[in-house]
Chain A
Amino acid sequence: AQSVTQLDSQVPVFEEAPVELRCNYSSSVSVYLFWYVQYPNQGLQLLLKYLSGSTLVKGINGFEAEFNKSQTSFHLRKPSVHISDTAEYFCAVSGGGSQGNLIFGKGTKLSVKP
């Protein structure tokens, strides 16, 4: 069975600082990984995804993530954050070979301070 662990429930960071949100996964089948962002009272927006190929995945809003099979990780990074990046970030793994049936982690709240 697949599962996702987000190691930090909250990450405070100052504006223009780099940030890394950690995600580890467990899967017995082919791994498809995703990062979503959720702004307050909003829906889920896809930031980036790994299906196959290059292990370094670039997404929207300057975010990127690296798939590391040996460490079973898919950490999300941004070199310089903005106030507008304040949101909740969810790592997810495909639950059945589908991009719609996802198993989400518990989420990480990123707070960017001026």
Chain B
Amino acid sequence: DTEVTQTPKHLVMGMTNKKSLKCEQHMGHRAMYWYKQKAKKPPELMFVYSYEKLSINESVPSRFSPECPNSSLLNLHLHALQPEDSALYLCASSQGPRAYEQYFGPGTRLTVT
């Protein structure tokens, strides 16, 4: 099973809402990642979790709050977002933190109104 799943597929939220994106993998990977991809742009790294600990935060605003409850799950909590935060949010995982092979989920398409 080389699958990373993400829910929901699409999300529309207002600027005052609180919502969460979920990511799951059952490959036994110990590193998990959140990327943000704007239209016609490459993915940009947001966060890296290594062995359930936050190891990289690429200066992401505090309205994005990651959480790794266990080695298979990764959440991204969203609060007070701005319309410019609308993007495709991609989750990925790799066996370890050295990113030799990162497997990506299908993404959540987020629209902030």
Task: Tell whether A and B belong to one assembly.
Answer: no
